[in-house]
Structure 1
Amino acid sequence: MIRVQQDDFDVQALYKQLLKKNDTGAVAMFVGLVRQFADQPNETCSFELEHYPGMTEHNLQEIVDDAQRRWPLLDVCVVHRVGRLSVDDQIVFVGVSASHRAEAFQACDFIMDYLKSRAAFWKKETQGECSQWVDAKQGDALSLERWSQ
């Protein structure tokens, strides 16, 4: 399941969807949250996530398909929020079920690395009165390199 939505998501409900009777040996999950920007601890911070409908879901499906080719997965769930988000809001859920923990951990990590770099999302951070679009981080690109080896 892949969803891009404005509404919050229920982690417990998504977890239950990943369970496959008698086959699931492991579920690995990642939940990303909006954190307070370190350089402005006393200002109200938020950000707005935009996406390109249709293209974003296609990007996410390609990432999931690649993970399913690399590991024997039972199920994958990706939910990514868009719109205005504030500190402590949930942004993204990635969950993977597999027969064994190694595949679940690796696939979840892989999906998040590629999601951060290859999915069509744009982020604008707001600190107090100032807003700016955020460029891709060098570290995100470096994280992808380990998957090509």
Structure 2
Amino acid sequence: MIHIDLTDQSIDVAAALRSVEADGAGAINTFIGTVRNQSTGRAVVRLEYEAYDTMALHQLRKVAEQAAEKWPMLQAVTVIHRKGTLHIGDVAVVVAVSTPHRAESFAACQYIIDTLKQVVTIWKKEFYQDGDVWVAAHP
């Protein structure tokens, strides 16, 4: 089961975690990306994410499907990414996966977050007290 979402609402991390529960899953792994208060030595005030929604959703699903091909034992995958304005401490992205064993769970979760940051059409702008900048993807 694959669940993908792109939202301008707060992400319910507990619901994302519940969405990957499965009877055959002995491991659930999550990555929760949050907005931090600094970047490259500058104080961050807020972030803004913009997306080409249709393409981003397609790409997110493709990344999840690629993970399912690489780790066929995946029971479930959920990927939720925010868009719009986010403040310090807000959850920007959640990746949750379930597998029978932990090694595959860790590997699949890392693959998904690293790959989505490289290929998905979601752009991040960091706002500082003294300006702003569009940020390139960091795998």
TM-score in same-fold range (> 0.5): yes
Whose strand fraction is larger, Structure 1's or Structure 2's? 2
Which of residues 8, 28, 38 in structure 2 aligns to 1:6? 8
**Which letter does structure 1 place at the counterpart of 2:9?**
D
Bigger Rg, structure 1 or 2: 1
The residue number in structure 2 matching 1:60 is 60
Residue type at the aligned position of 2:35: V
For structure 2, the 5+ residue unaligned runs are none
Matched with 2:106 is 105
SS of equivalent residue, structure 1 residue 3? strand
Residue 11 of structure 1 deviates from its aligned partner by 1.3
**Superposed structure 1 runs of 4+ greater than 3 Å apart:** none
Task: Report the Cα offset of residue 129 of structure 1.
Answer: 4.2
Instruction: Extract unaligned runs of 5+ from structure 1.
Output: 141-149
> How many residues align structurally?
135
Larger fraction in helix: 1
Query: 1:1-149 to 2 correspondence within 5 Å?
Result: 1-21=3-23, 23-38=24-39, 39-41=41-43, 45-71=45-71, 72-137=73-138, 140=139
Tell me which amino acid in the other structure corresponds to 2:30. M
Look up the equivalent residue of 1:54 and give its one-letter code: T
Q: Partners of 1:92 and 1:55 in 2: how far apart? A: 17
Question: Identical aligned pairs, as a percentage?
Answer: 36
Shift of 1:126: 0.7
Shift of residue 40, structure 1, vs aligned partner: 3.1
Partner Cα separation in structure 2 for residue 90 and residue 126 of structure 1: 17
The one-letter amino acid paired with 1:40 is R
Tell me the TM-score normalized by structure 2. 0.92
Amino acid at match of 1:83: G
**TM score, norm. by length of structure 1:** 0.86
